[in-house]
């Protein structure tokens, strides 16, 4: 079979099966369009967060951000210099996700976000997704919701060293609720961490002041007792002068330490009083959201061409196999060994 004969027979086969090819192509187009229509629309929120700190704590906005976020370098700290916590890891942590999933929305029947998320996914399923059954316990529901939140959540530090939080979901109302839930939980963790650190510093400074105060009073009592027991003693003698001088020297050193401790206590008290850090949301996770949906027209066209190619290949499969056998026979036995005939 020559190439010309193969082409002629190929065209004849397509003419005979053109209606079948059209039906198959339309069927594939319908499947593609149906897939696009049944694929849930997703909404992506975006929030940009910036820490507000006092000027005495940071010399510039850049230092404020580097003190809060670990986005600048390996030596930068998050939240405080003594307790470094990466805010991206905090946002993506399982604990934070489970706390968000357990938040109750009073505007929706006081249901938890985990319950709302389960209902939302079941109401916006694609035709390939099975329905999700309710977990047997609330703990399992929270754990399941945390895994789902992990798939739609993304946290990063942008080039300006601001914290960017995005979340993708199937319902714009739920996307907003979840985004604000994450912001509130992260802010609360940061504030609690700062307050706990300031409280610990204040308690330590206070205990140091109390301890030094007791030691100073003890030295005073020793000096008074020494003065009473040596009422008729010559104060110029070494047996009186040396102990008295030692007590006075110790008391002077203790007073210096006491003054430093009181200053530290006042500083810690000031930090405790002003330990109300604020995380300012520059871009709120409110509409309009980034909407992503699949075009039924595009997927229908793609399905049509896939069906058309499939139909052509199916219609000419036997012809191509016979031609391949004919060419193999010619290659092995020559022209005399070819017995392939053209089928009608």
pLDDT in tens, 234-270: 556 666 677 777 878 888 888 888 888 888 888 877 7
- What is 280-320 written as a DSSP string? EEEE-S-SSPEEE---HHHHHHHHHHHHHHHHHHHHTHHHH
What pLDDT does 239 receive? 65
The chain-wide mean pLDDT, for the chain, equals 77
Is residue 337 over pLDDT 70? Answer: no
What pLDDT does 38 receive? 81
Cβ atoms 191, 51 nearer than 8 A: no
Please give the helix or strand (H or E) that residue 148 lies within, else none: helix 138-152
Tens-place pLDDT, residues 264-292: 888 877 776 665 556 678 888 988 988 88
Q: What percent of the chain has pLDDT over 70?
A: 73
What pLDDT does 230 receive? 63
What pLDDT does 72 receive? 44
Tens-place pLDDT, residues 93-119: 999 999 999 999 888 888 999 999 999
Q: What is the mean pLDDT of residues 22-31?
A: 88
Please give the helix or strand (H or E) that residue 167 lies within, else none: strand 163-169
Tens-place pLDDT, residues 47-68: 988 765 544 444 333 444 444 4
pTM of the entire structure?
Answer: 0.61
What pLDDT does 205 receive? 84
Q: How far is CA 239 from CA 219, 223, 230, in A?
A: 18, 14, 10
């Amino acid at each position: 079979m020559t190439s010309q004969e193969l082409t002629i027979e190929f065209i004849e086969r397509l003419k005979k099966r053109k209606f079948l090819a059209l039906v198959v192509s339309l069927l594939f187009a319908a499947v593609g369009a149906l897939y696009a229509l049944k694929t849930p629309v997703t909404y992506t929120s975006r929030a940009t967060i910036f820490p507000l700190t006092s000027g005495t704590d940071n010399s510039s906005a850049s230092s404020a951000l580097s003190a809060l976020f670990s986005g600048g370098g390996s030596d930068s700290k998050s939240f405080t210099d003594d307790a470094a916590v990466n805010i991206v890891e905090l946002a993506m942590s399982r604990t934070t996700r489970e706390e968000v999933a357990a938040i109750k929305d009073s505007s929706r029947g006081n249901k938890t976000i985990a319950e709302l998320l389960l209902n939302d996914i079941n109401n916006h399923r694609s035709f390939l997704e099975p329905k999700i059954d309710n977990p047997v316990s609330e703990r399992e529901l929270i754990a399941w919701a945390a895994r789902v939140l992990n798939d739609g959540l993304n946290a990063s530090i942008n080039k300006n060293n601001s914290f960017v939080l995005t979340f993708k979901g199937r319902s714009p109302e739920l996307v907003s609720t979840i985004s604000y839930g994450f912001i509130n939980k992260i802010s609360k963790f940061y504030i609690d961490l700062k307050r706990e650190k300031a409280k610990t510093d204040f308690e330590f400074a206070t205990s140091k002041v109390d301890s030094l105060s007791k030691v100073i009073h003890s030295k005073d009592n020793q000096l008074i007792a020494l003065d009473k027991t040596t009422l008729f003693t010559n104060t110029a003698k070494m047996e009186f002068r040396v102990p008295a001088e030692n007590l006075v020297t110790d008391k002077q050193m203790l007073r210096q330490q006491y003054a430093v401790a009181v200053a530290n206590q006042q500083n810690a008290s000031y930090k405790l009083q002003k330990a109300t850090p604020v995380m300012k949301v520059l871009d709120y996770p409110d509409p309009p959201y980034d909407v992503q949906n699949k075009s039924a027209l595009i997927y229908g066209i793609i399905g049509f061409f896939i069906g058309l190619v499939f139909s052509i290949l199916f219609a000419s499969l036997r012809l191509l196999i016979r031609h391949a056998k004919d060419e193999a026979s010619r290659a092995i036995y020559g022209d005399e060994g070819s017995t392939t005939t053209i089928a009608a």
